[in-house]
Amino acid sequence: MFRLLAGILILYGSIGFSFKLCQEMRNRIRHIEQMKEIFRLFQSEISYSRAALPETCFSVSKRVAEPYKTAMEAIYEETMKKSGAQFPAIWKEKMELCLKEMPIQKREQDIFIEFGNQLGFMDWKMQNAMLEKNREQLDELYIQLKNAMANKEKVITSMGVLGGLMLVIILV
């Protein structure tokens, strides 16, 4: 009886672990989608309203989800304090805090953090061009991940089930 229960628990654990790995991949893709959406919102704000970057952050913060919302509001508040810090430095500081616990890799973080350095000193046309470049970079990553995810999910799930079965056979 205890062996059967142990076998079932081992199998559930290994399947749960494989589902957790698949969920992390889906979360990474979801955050890349959110980053692309933020770039699109910045692009529209800069192109159409020609707002300054702090005001653009405030406007974008109303249309994005957490944790990006809080980070954008913090950037706006920090720039409005007139503490002397430049927008790129504030962007980098707040976004590093925001992205620290995200399920994204360093490459995606770098694209998003460097975005602030690229915008601070250009006219709206150049800012728009840089936003488009960053969106294209994220699009490439997104497509690569989507293509790889379908195959990886199947492999991870299969290996989780088979690994669990093998452990059950060996241990029980």
DSSP category for residue 30? H
**Would residue 82 be called left, alpha or beta, if left means φ above 0 and alpha means ψ between -120 and 50 degrees?**
left
Residue from 67, 140, 138, 70 nearest 108 by CA: 138
One-letter amino acid at 130 equals M
Q: Residue 122: pLDDT band by 50, 70, 90 thresholds?
A: low
Which two structure tokens, joined as six digits, stand for 81?
Answer: 């304090």
What confidence score (pLDDT) does residue 17 get?
Answer: 92
The answer, yes or no, to whether residue 121 has pLDDT greater than 80, is no
Segment 81-110, tens digit of pLDDT:
876 678 778 888 888 888 887 888 888 888
Segment 59-77, tens digit of pLDDT:
888 888 888 888 888 888 8
pTM listed for this prediction: 0.78
